[in-house]
Structure 1
Amino acid sequence: MLFFTPSYIREARRALYVVHKALRYQKDLLTLKQLRKLRDGISQLQEAIRQEKKDSVIFSMQALEQCTLRVMPQHNRPGWRENIETILVAVILAVSIRAYFLQPFKIPSGSMQPTLFGVTGHPSSLPPPSLPIRILDLAVYGRSHLDVIAQSNETILHIEEHRFLNFFTFTQLIGDKHTYWAFAPSSALYSYFGVSVGRFYRRGQAIARGIVSSGDQLFVDKLGCHFIPPRRGDILVFRTLNIPKIQSRRLKNVAFEHYIKRLVGVPGDVLRIDPPLLFINGKVPAELGLQRVMSCSNSFQGYVNVPFSLYLSTPQDTFTVPPNSYFVLGDNSYNSSDSREWGIVPQENVIGRALFILWPFSTRWGWIH
């Protein structure tokens, strides 16, 4: 038992572990003669440990230590070196996981509500709570309390959005006299607080006061779709590449965007919407995710036709999903830009299935359905 093992034996075993570890790292830098000396020293110490002769163990351990110091290349600040190696391994592991297994994704809009939430804003006339409460709200619930007040009579001249670690979004508001910062996307400031270039504010007037709730952060399963094809009801993240109606309005210098919608039609399916129901091949689908949307309960409103849209603009319209394509809809059918408007998603555009909401820790936290 380890408890009854003599201390000199434990120290010798620890020395063997350290030398073995160093040898694994640096054996490619050693000559055959140096390797032979080290291995002889290791064998000698192992034999001494087996015999449990204290003097022999201590002598062999000291000899191995001296041999190691002579043979192994020495580094300044070895602790820093090990820390850097650990960080590099962690980075490589994270990049590998992101490339092949799981990818983080932030919900950009409200098209999947109430299943998944994008950024939302809630203006208020009340001042923000104390700093500890604001920190707790942000860390747990993803809520940012804004209190941007005009310091003088001035006009907003320029708005610029910045990202930190591709996770946090700040917006810089440049007035003709002062510069302001808001911990929120520029789109939320415009949509919920009316902040725009050219707007005039009087001294003491609130530019943006209230709460901005961050969009859900989730993991996307990239590996599963390679083994099990996407099925109706799955929530998919996909690239907008080669979807003409989207590509024509994309931002300059942006090759494609990422969208998230629910898969409702696979190749060969004949689709029709008769609000609030979706019909697939003449029947109401049984998939749980689609049933929840059509239930018109718990904030779901069912599916709806969009007049003058590309597909399914009336209850009589049908659409047959072509080969190698998917038809996707947002759960928030009344406020979703989806396949009704811009058409099918090529199968090769699919990145993976939405798997798990990892933040914020709201009632939606957990597995995605």
Structure 2
Amino acid sequence: MKTFFRRRKANKLAEDILKQSQHLRNIREDLMRETDLKKLIESEETLKEAIRGRDPVAVENASESLFAFLNKVIPSGRPTALAENFEILIVAVVVAMGFRTYFIQPFKIPTGSMEPTLNGIHSDAHTNPTIMDQVPLKYLKWIVFGEWYMEIRIREDGVLGDRAETTPDETSMYVYVGNVRYKIPRGARPRVFPGTLMKKGAILWSGKVTTGDHVFVDKVRWNFSRPKRGQVMVFLTKNIQSLPENTHYIKRLIGLPNESISINPPNILINGKIVNEPEGIRRISQQAPGYSGYTIPYSYAGTANFISSSNEVRKLGPADFFVLGDNTGNSRDGRYWGAVPEKNTIGPAVLVYWPYSQRWGRIN
């Protein structure tokens, strides 16, 4: 019995330490030395193996080893921690003001698929930081506008390769200088061309990174009323073919159950008729400034799109919804993978609460 409780306690502690280690890798792996990153991953695997072995002594020893290494590599500076955890602080303040997470769910826009209605994480390259990018004003700039000046410097001499990989969250990409991997904002261009030799300390990229819009999602409304065309909605990707499992997406609701959907650029057709209502749909189809209208999606080799041409009509099921991004030229949406089951819907996005910009406030 004593062994059982000891093992249970050791496993709980080990799981907490593993979470901290994985969190550290998620936010700092592009800044860690290759040797430290390799040792961290090896320590995690050793601890996981000890847990599977069900030996509490081995789990405790592996936990102590990983914990000691984490203390060694965790940065001590406060500015980075403040920047990385500010989103959590925002949510905590809102909760303290009386919002409850089971009524209102915060959500961060990761990509540009809803631009210009809602902005995802984006960057602007420049080499001359202003006074607002200096301590302490840079923290105020982050708190109000969600903007942060950053420089990514080379840690070891090497040649910039031509390989680039998008991160799983699609907000950044990895590039390689020699054998060292660096994370830079998605769409950013290094200062030099591939094949250039870069010395330790040289700047790979510098510029302003702006966080994606943070919105509130009303999780209660659709318990008392039906979803309406034109609402910006958040849904779960569970069991939707070709999408990552159990991820949240945000798109605009276009098609309702039992309707027929087709696209005749720049218009969307419902049951054979052009739809220009409500306002959120009209400004896209009429190509208001910043919008390009509804388009036929690109075709990728080996894949079949839900809608492939202007002649194709798709009928929705009795519990299906059809959604599109407002930035249809850069949105992987229902045109590619089809309908969203009603059981996957979370609720309408109703308010941009951070950062402050021209989009701040009620979402239309």
TM-score of Structure 1 vs Structure 2, range by shorter chain: 0.5 to 0.7
Runs of 4+ in 1 over 4 A off after TM superposition: 96-99, 154-157, 169-180
Instruction: Check if 1:289 corresponds to 2:280.
Output: yes
Equivalent-residue separation in structure 2 for 1:201 and 1:217 (angstroms)? 37
CA shift, 1:352, in A, is: 0.9
State the identity as a percent.
Answer: 36
Equivalent-residue separation in structure 2 for 1:177 and 1:210 (angstroms)? 24
CA shift, 1:174, in A, is: 10
Equivalent-residue separation in structure 2 for 1:288 and 1:339 (angstroms)? 20
What are the residue-to-residue correspondences of 1:165-180 with 2, within 5 Å? none
Task: Specify the SS of the correspondent of 2:274.
Answer: coil
What are the residue-to-residue correspondences of 1:289-328 with 2, within 5 Å? 289-308=280-299, 310-328=305-323
Task: Specify the SS of the correspondent of 1:244.
Answer: coil
CA contact (8 A) 2:110 2:212 kept: yes
Task: Name the residue aligned to 1:337.
Answer: 332
Equivalent-residue separation in structure 2 for 1:271 and 1:179 (angstroms)? 44
CA shift, 1:354, in A, is: 0.3
Q: CA RMSD in A?
A: 3.7
CA shift, 1:213, in A, is: 0.9
1:275 pairs, out of 252, 261, 265, with 265
1:256 pairs, out of 246, 258, 266, with 246
Long gaps (5+) in structure 2: 1-91
Q: Deviations over 1:156-178 (max 9, x none)?
A: 99x9x99xxxxxx9999998899
Task: Name the residue aligned to 2:103.
Answer: 101
Equivalent-residue separation in structure 2 for 1:233 and 1:213 (angstroms)? 27
CA contact (8 A) 1:359 1:365 kept: yes
CA contact (8 A) 1:97 1:103 kept: no
Instruction: Check if 1:351 corresponds to 2:307.
Output: no
Amino acid in the other structure paired with 2:111: S
What are the residue-to-residue correspondences of 1:1-369 with 2, within 5 Å? 98-127=100-129, 129=131, 130-150=134-154, 153-154=157-158, 186=183, 189-194=185-190, 201-246=198-243, 250=244, 255-285=245-275, 286-308=277-299, 310-369=305-364
Q: Deviations over 1:201-236 (max 9, x none)?
A: 324421220011100001000000111111110111
CA shift, 1:311, in A, is: 2.3
- CA distance 1:277–1:149, shift in 2 (3 Å): same
Amino acid in the other structure paired with 1:269: E
Task: Specify the SS of the correspondent of 2:152.
Answer: strand
CA shift, 1:189, in A, is: 2.6
Task: Specify the SS of the correspondent of 1:191.
Answer: coil
CA shift, 1:258, in A, is: 0.5
CA contact (8 A) 2:307 2:314 kept: yes
CA contact (8 A) 1:128 1:147 kept: no
Long gaps (5+) in structure 1: 1-89, 163-168, 181-185
Q: Tell me the number of residue pairs that the alignment of Structure 1 and Structure 2 aligns.
A: 258
Larger Rg: 1
Equivalent-residue separation in structure 2 for 1:171 and 1:313 (angstroms)? 29
